[in-house]
Structure 1
């Protein structure tokens, strides 16, 4: 197959990856390593076939690193699960470093709107604002970023963020950017 023909498969394959990840995350509330690492590894021969071994390998690596780097701080602050970070890294390996910031922005917007709607729908707005205020005050006074075990247990809930990553990826792919 010619590299131009292979390049047309990158979008549909990525759509398949994020759709499967979203479905599994909704069902099991986790994204499995076989999917994230498998997607990441499968992107290498595709990138090499499209761009040549050296350029393709670098595109694959830079995309993976960009995807990892953009969500890793949220994982380190306990605001996101590792599977979400690995999924974004795999998306970066498939679509390239240039697409990662666009997908991340779309993902954050979609995830934020979803979280806000969920908080309002479940009547958790006042409790959530109280927790956020307490967290900010604790960070300012005690100079710590991570919540304690007791604070973590009183969370308003979590979102299967693989769904937001899938939606952000689809939005950017269909936006044609």
Structure 2
């Protein structure tokens, strides 16, 4: 793996770790965290050329369009949609598709554990955790 790819993954993981921390401690992900993450992904794409930047913008748009119905059905919150959109700026289309799929699978597993082991069945899950797990699975782990 090239040093550039390792650097990009490190930035993505740091961004997602910050989002997880905010989601777990404050029950929301602030735009002041999301916007710099989105900008970092787009800037890193721009350094690879105009085609890469165009693909990053398209990935962000696709993430929005895929997740908008889920948001409208109150399946996830707006901050979660924005988090996946920012994450999309770092990923290829295949990685984005896998990240979304794995994020929902991890969220489903967490929900199942809550149903089995918790008395408070109306607990919401912090979706930043499944997004980080989904991104890590989609791009192949830490390194």
Alpha-carbon contact 1:23-1:163 (below 8 Å) kept: no
- 1:143 aligns to what? none
Give the RMSD, CA atoms, in angstroms: 1.8
5+ residue gaps in structure 2? none
**1:68 is aligned to 2:64:** yes
What is the aligned counterpart of 2:14 among 5, 8, 16?
16
Write out aligned runs for 1:32-43 (5 A). 32-43=30-41
1:96 and 1:35, CA in 2 relative to 1: closer, same or farther beyond 3 A? farther
2-structure distance, mates of 1:111, 1:163: 8
Q: Given the alignment of the two structures, is residue 110 of structure 1 paired with residue 110 of structure 2, yes or no?
A: no
- Name the structure 1 match of 2:55: 59
Question: Higher mean Cα deviation, 84-93 or 163-172?
Answer: 163-172
- Aligned pairs, number: 141
Q: What residue is the counterpart of 2:47 in the other structure?
A: 49
Shift of 1:95: 1.2
Structure label with greater radius of gyration: 1
Q: Which residue of 2 aligns with 1:164?
A: 130
Q: TM-score, normalised by structure 1?
A: 0.73
Q: Deviations over 1:90-130 (max 9, x none)?
A: 11111132211101111111100100110111146xxx6xx
Q: Is the 8 A contact 2:38 2:89 kept in 1?
A: yes
CA contact (8 A) 1:62 1:96 kept: no
